[in-house]
Structure 1
Amino acid sequence: MNQPATKVLVIGYVWPEPRSSAAGGHMMQILETFLTQGWDITFSSPATIGEHKADLPALGIAECAIELNNSSFDDFICELAPDIVLFDRFMMEEQFGWRVEKHCPAALRVLETSDLQSLRDARQQRFKDHLKAQPDNDDFSALFAPGLEDEFQRMADTDLAKREIAAIYRCDISLMISDMEIRLLTEQFKVPAALLHWCPLMMEPPTEAFAPFEARAHFLSIGNFRHAPNWDAVLWMKNSVWPLIRQQLPGAQLHVYGAYTPPKATALHNPAQGFHVMNWAEDALQVMTAARICLAPLRFGAGIKGKLADAMLCGTPNITTPVGAEAMGDEQPWPGAIAHSATALADAAVSLYQDRERWTQAQEHGRQLLARRYDLHRHGPALVECLEHCRSRLDAHRRDNFTGSMLRHHAHKSTQYMSQWIEAKNRNL
């Protein structure tokens, strides 16, 4: 007799938009991995639907809109009775975790962290402090220098870190896109390694020939404008990096693509300076394949960068910072260049743009890096194996995580009463 298909409920912070953000792309990779197992998937979210939302029903994934602070979710999850519940970012665990535990206590609770938001937030604050202290200094070597202990010192007293890491403890498994963030959690915050699973971007390694040096032209930058690190990178390019490139390559063009382009971004469009704000790319891989160099001068951020993985997938060498390259590479050569200042970024970009031999080498380094670290055929099965193993010994796994049990006992009670109070208040309005 056939076993019933494993039921998975995903509670999304937003509806996935794989062509708008790396987070959306990673969520789709996870969903597609589950589909290969024949699992029965329902995607739910309290968010409004964005204009670039993935067509989940076409993949065989059911959709359901849910509400915050509303007991209608209780009826929904009782009827669905999922075997696995995946929270997309810790805020969804805060909102719905107590309801899941109350009505489906045997369901495996999985947190998709996307990246450590508390780390990104701490780095953004450090960046702001750096600009205040050294407003005219365009070399950010000191900003990129801190090690794990320094990151911990910055994060440890913040409310965001306490909330995010508490959610990690309350879940059975947390999916980490960055192995550097796993080291930060295990070595500095003392999170048990058994609660974390490395799940980077999962991609089919390219096998076909890349578009060659001669078939490409111009520089490209891409990223969701709503994401603060991307917007800062655009401003730094506009004000510092790009003018230095144009001094050496007067005819150079930079095409800046991004979803949800705000008026402040379109105001930067200046064809006379070769700075073209192109809005949303209908096919990000197509425009990436046409470019000769991908620029990603990120001054803060966390996780790993979908734009750089896409660049490698398209055979497009990139110029980035230590933050951009963090947790993406290994001891082998980087597929482009990593630099700490506007001057060094511009010089590296110009040199690589003009040097066919080095450019072709960088292109091949990207192909090799994808195969080593991001192979779908390695990480997909590893993810499934992790979840199945945890389900097979769930009671013991939870006993070993006493801190998580304690946090659920206290935090879920307070969250439950607050949610019920908001629901009662809304009913009486």
Structure 2
Amino acid sequence: MLQIQNLLIIGTVWPEPNSSAAGGRMLQLITQFQQQGFTITFASPAMDSEFMADLKSLDVKKKSIVLNCSSFDVFVKEMNPTIVLFDRFMMEEQFGWRVAENCPYALRILDTEDMHCLRLARQKAFKEKRKFEFVDLLKEEIAKREIASILRSDLSLIISEFEMDILKTTFKIDEKLLYYLPFLLETILEATFKNFPSFEIRKNFVFIGNFLHEPNWNAVQYLKETIWPLLRKQLPEAELHIYGAYPSQKVMQLHQPKEGFHIKGRANDANEVAQNARIVLAPLRFGAGIKGKLIEAMQCGTPSITTTIGSESMHGHLPWNGFVTNDVIKFSEAAVQLYQDKKLWTASQQNGIAIINQRYSKEMFENDFASKIEFLRSNLPQHRLDNFFGALLQHHTLSSTKYMSRWIEAKNNKKE
């Protein structure tokens, strides 16, 4: 019988697994902690969304919290969680010092999702039409906040091996503070992929991505202006269907059915969309982390064509489930070849299944992750003693962020 312990998750937003990979990732983490015997409360300062997961059906308690308000102190002290998981560094900034002050023995874990400073530094380099260099990271203001959050936390979950390397080499973070934990997926069994729609049944190209995410919007523009015209010349009957949550008016204005370019908006079932497409296109020119749209393609038996940033840290030494290229001509040529060649398409599909099973099968990580959590809980005082810079940052955060937050709270109370 597992001992019941409390886990508090503080989310930037309520999880939306059908809107973003981050939402799916959060549900995977919830499952992992429930299997370890934790009762879970998910708290967030965000407004409710019609697309948020039904937490009650997942046996997760829901709690709305307020920024810069001592009501959180009362709540967290009363709950007295065993572990607090911060969803992205912004939540650790806002609530980490309050957790440390009111629940000093709670294990504090940061789920980074991806390195925000890496994504923003690459985006800046792209817009300035220059090559990204690692020194760019050291110049990013957000990097200072993000790395400080990692140092203050007892453990940070890192989704990408590439980002693990950056944190250890560029930022000199002690690897005891980092834990590589990618997407945790079900193994694709033979019976499953035998039921995938066949090459003949599938048609058209697809792109899926949340439009609140700048790399996705940029990729759609790239498809519309540069890649799709080249593809369309060689495959005049083919169509490209663009799906994504939260499309803006400027996204919808790209809808050009006569050109075979269709803006579809939010997908009711992203898996169904990917399974019925013959190829997923993802020409990402900047970004970070692991790309949920490409994982989803592999899970649906759908080959993909992407860039080196798109495939970064995703397939190790295994062959990609399609093509990886940064050259626009090669990208369009690869898309045409893969669209027409059943043998190549089938081999690419098998590559994707191998990547999922050999790199993301949750059975590979569950036991070690549970052991890591138990080890830290049992050795927390020494672990924190070894993390002097984290203690230093925690001390100054309590001295600065605390009083800034108290000032904001007092100001808000005066307005009332």
TM-score after normalising by structure 1? 0.94
- Partners of 2:67 and 2:60 lie apart in 1 by 22
Residue 165 of structure 1 corresponds to which residue in structure 2?
147
Matched, 1:200 2:185: no
Q: Equivalent residue of 2:263, what SS? A: strand
Task: Choose the corresponding residue for 1:383, options 369, 381, 391.
Answer: 369
Matched, 1:288 2:274: yes
How much does 1:378 deviate? 1.6
Counterpart amino acid of residue 228 in structure 1: E
- Cα contact 2:3–2:37 (8 A) shared by 1: no
Residue range with higher mean Cα deviation, 378-387 or 230-239: 378-387
Residue 9 of structure 1 corresponds to which residue in structure 2?
8
Residue 221 of structure 2 corresponds to which residue in structure 1?
235
Task: Choose the corresponding residue for 1:154, options 93, 117, 136.
Answer: 136
Q: How does 1:185-196 map to 2 (within 5 A)?
A: 185-196=167-178
Task: Choose the corresponding residue for 1:311, options 279, 297, 315.
Answer: 297
- Cα contact 2:2–2:37 (8 A) shared by 1: no
Q: How does 1:349-368 map to 2 (within 5 A)?
A: 349-368=335-354
- Partners of 2:99 and 2:13 lie apart in 1 by 19
Q: Deviations over 1:23-43 (max 9, x none)?
A: 111111101111222310000
Residue 393 of structure 1 corresponds to which residue in structure 2?
379
Residue 42 of structure 1 corresponds to which residue in structure 2?
41
- Partners of 1:339 and 1:21 lie apart in 2 by 24
Task: Choose the corresponding residue for 2:406, options 420, 424, 427.
Answer: 420
Q: Deviations over 1:306-363 (max 9, x none)?
A: 0000000000000000000001011121110001122111111111000100100000
Residue 165 of structure 2 corresponds to which residue in structure 1?
183
Matched, 1:273 2:255: no
Q: Deviations over 1:230-289 (max 9, x none)?
A: 000000000001110001101110010000111111111111000011111111001100
- Partners of 2:232 and 2:50 lie apart in 1 by 35
Q: Deviations over 1:53-107 (max 9, x none)?
A: 0011101000000000000000100111100000000011110011000010000
How much does 1:16 deviate? 0.4
How much does 1:6 deviate? 1.2
Q: Equivalent residue of 1:224, what SS? A: coil
- Cα contact 1:97–1:412 (8 A) shared by 2: no
- Partners of 1:411 and 1:28 lie apart in 2 by 30
How much does 1:296 deviate? 0.5
Counterpart amino acid of residue 198 in structure 2: P
- Partners of 1:280 and 1:113 lie apart in 2 by 25
Q: Equivalent residue of 2:86, what SS? A: strand
Matched, 1:51 2:50: yes
Matched, 1:325 2:311: yes
- Partners of 1:385 and 1:229 lie apart in 2 by 36
- Partners of 1:250 and 1:86 lie apart in 2 by 50
- Partners of 2:139 and 2:343 lie apart in 1 by 49
Residue 174 of structure 1 corresponds to which residue in structure 2?
156
Could you list the runs of 5+ residues in structure 2 that have no partner in the other structure?
Answer: none
- Partners of 1:15 and 1:252 lie apart in 2 by 37
Q: Equivalent residue of 1:126, what SS? A: helix
Q: 1:243 to 1:221 in 2, by over 3 A?
A: same
- Partners of 2:219 and 2:366 lie apart in 1 by 32
Q: Equivalent residue of 2:126, what SS? A: helix
- Cα contact 1:84–1:107 (8 A) shared by 2: yes
- Cα contact 1:18–1:25 (8 A) shared by 2: yes
- Partners of 1:384 and 1:43 lie apart in 2 by 20
How much does 1:205 deviate? 1.7
Q: Equivalent residue of 1:18, what SS? A: coil
- Cα contact 1:46–1:66 (8 A) shared by 2: yes
Residue 344 of structure 1 corresponds to which residue in structure 2?
330
Matched, 1:25 2:11: no
- Partners of 1:3 and 1:343 lie apart in 2 by 56
How much does 1:4 deviate? 4.5
Residue range with higher mean Cα deviation, 236-245 or 342-351: 342-351
Q: Equivalent residue of 1:215, what SS? A: coil
- Partners of 1:386 and 1:57 lie apart in 2 by 28
- Cα contact 1:186–1:193 (8 A) shared by 2: yes
Q: Equivalent residue of 1:100, what SS? A: helix
Residue 138 of structure 1 corresponds to which residue in structure 2?
none
How much does 1:206 deviate? 1.3
- Partners of 2:247 and 2:13 lie apart in 1 by 18
Counterpart amino acid of residue 19 in structure 1: N
- Partners of 2:209 and 2:2 lie apart in 1 by 43
- Cα contact 1:245–1:347 (8 A) shared by 2: yes
Counterpart amino acid of residue 191 in structure 1: I
- Partners of 1:247 and 1:203 lie apart in 2 by 38
TM-score after normalising by structure 2? 0.97
Give the length in aligned residue pairs: 411
Residue 390 of structure 2 corresponds to which residue in structure 1?
404
RMSD: 1.1
- Cα contact 2:208–2:242 (8 A) shared by 1: yes
Give the share of equivalent positions with the same residue, in percent: 49
- Partners of 1:420 and 1:267 lie apart in 2 by 45
How much does 1:292 deviate? 0.4
Counterpart amino acid of residue 127 in structure 1: F
Residue 112 of structure 1 corresponds to which residue in structure 2?
111
Counterpart amino acid of residue 299 in structure 1: R
Matched, 1:97 2:83: no
- Cα contact 1:205–1:313 (8 A) shared by 2: no
Q: Equivalent residue of 1:381, what SS? A: helix
- Partners of 2:3 and 2:171 lie apart in 1 by 39
Residue 82 of structure 2 corresponds to which residue in structure 1?
83
Counterpart amino acid of residue 420 in structure 1: R
- Partners of 1:236 and 1:157 lie apart in 2 by 28
Counterpart amino acid of residue 9 in structure 1: L
- Cα contact 1:109–1:171 (8 A) shared by 2: yes
Residue 139 of structure 1 corresponds to which residue in structure 2?
none
Q: Deviations over 1:85-138 (max 9, x none)?
A: 0000001111001100001000000000000001100000000011xx7xxxxx
Q: Equivalent residue of 1:337, what SS? A: strand
Which portions of structure 1, spanning 4 or more consecutive aligned residues, are displaced by more than 3 angstroms?
A: none
